Amino acid sequence: MKLDVQGLTVSFRIPGATVRAVTDASFQVRPGRCLALVGESGCGKSVLAHALLGLLPGNAEVSGSAVLDGELDLVAAAPAVLAKKVRGRRVGLIPQSPATHLTPVRTARAQLEEASRELGSAQRADELAERFGLRAGDLDRYPHELSGGMAQRVANAIALAGDPGLLLADEPTSGLDRPLVDTSMAVLRELCDEGRAVLLITHDLRAAERVADDIAVMYASRLVEIGPAADVLNRPRHPYAAGLVDAQPDRAFTPIPGMPPELTRLPGGCAFAPRCGRASAACASVPPLRGAACHHPLWEDPRAASA
C-alpha cells in the first residue's frame, strides 16, 4: 500500500493564538519500505500521524492531501469512510501511550479478539500476541496488570489485527528496554519485508537505524531533511539533522544549543536559524526541501541541485 502526502498542513486555533503543528509536509511511504519520521518532542510528528486518520480535535484545520494507493485522499475523506474503511483495515495505528488506549475493565485477550472480530480478521489472538513476544497467559491479564512494555506489545498486536497494508507506528518503543526495542523493530522490519508500508514516528535514532529505509527529519513543524537512512544518519546535510545525530550517546553525545521555537511563534524564515552557526541573512526566507531544506547545507548533493 502506497501513501503519497503533499503539502500537508495542520494548525489549531486556541484563544489568542494559532498553533502551527505541521507545515507543508510532503513525502511518500511505499510498500515494502519504512520511512522513519524523527525529531525532538513537540515538533509535530504525532499530529501528522493523527491527521492521516482524522483523529484530530475539532479545532484542527487541515489542508493538503494524503492519497492512499492513488485513489483515496485521507484528508478529504468523510469521517464515516475513515472509520469504516480505513482505520484498522487499510491503515493500522500503533499508538503512543498504549495504556490509555486499552479498556481497563477487559482483558488484553478480550480486546484483541474484539478487534479481530470487528475487522473481519481470521487471525487468532494467540498468534498475534506471539509475534510481538507475548505469551498466551499474558493476554488474560487486565491492563493494570501489564507492564508498560507488555501494554505496548498488546497495542502492537491490536494494530495488526486487521492485516493493514500501511502501519503508522507512533513511538512504538516508548517504555521498552533496549532488548524489547530491538525485538519490536525486528517485527516492523519483518512486516516491511512482507510488503507492508510503515511510517515510524520516533525520537529514537537507534531504533530508526534498525528498521528504516528512509528518514525524514522534522523541526518546528517542517520537514528539514529527507533521504536514505544511511545518508541521513552518517552524512546529514541539514545542521539540525547533524545535531540530532551528534546528540546520540553512541556519537558525539553533544546537545544542540538553544531551544526550539514555540509552535505559536514560528519565525518567518528558517526556524532553526537562531540555533545554527551557519545562519546568514538568507535564512530569513524558508528554503525549499530538496533533500535538505537549508540555504547552507553541510554538503551539496548534485542530485538535489538538479531536481
Structural domains for the chain: 3-90+164-305 (3.40.50.300)
At 182, the pLDDT band (50, 70, 90 cuts) reads confident
Quick: pLDDT tens for 255-295.
999 999 999 999 999 999 999 999 999 999 999 999 999 99
At 305, the pLDDT band (50, 70, 90 cuts) reads low
Quick: pLDDT tens for 53-69.
999 999 999 999 999 99
Quick: pLDDT tens for 210-263.
999 999 999 999 999 999 999 999 999 999 999 999 999 888 889 999 999 999
At 96, the pLDDT band (50, 70, 90 cuts) reads confident
pLDDT score, position 10: 98
Statement: residue 92 has pLDDT above 90: yes
* Contact (Cβ atoms closer than 8 angstroms) between residue 45 and residue 96: no
pLDDT score, position 148: 80
Statement: residue 129 has pLDDT above 90: no
Statement: residue 22 has pLDDT above 60: yes
**DSSP sequence for 213-263:** SEEEEEETTEEEEEEEHHHHHHS--SHHHHHHHHTSTTTT--PPSS-PPPT
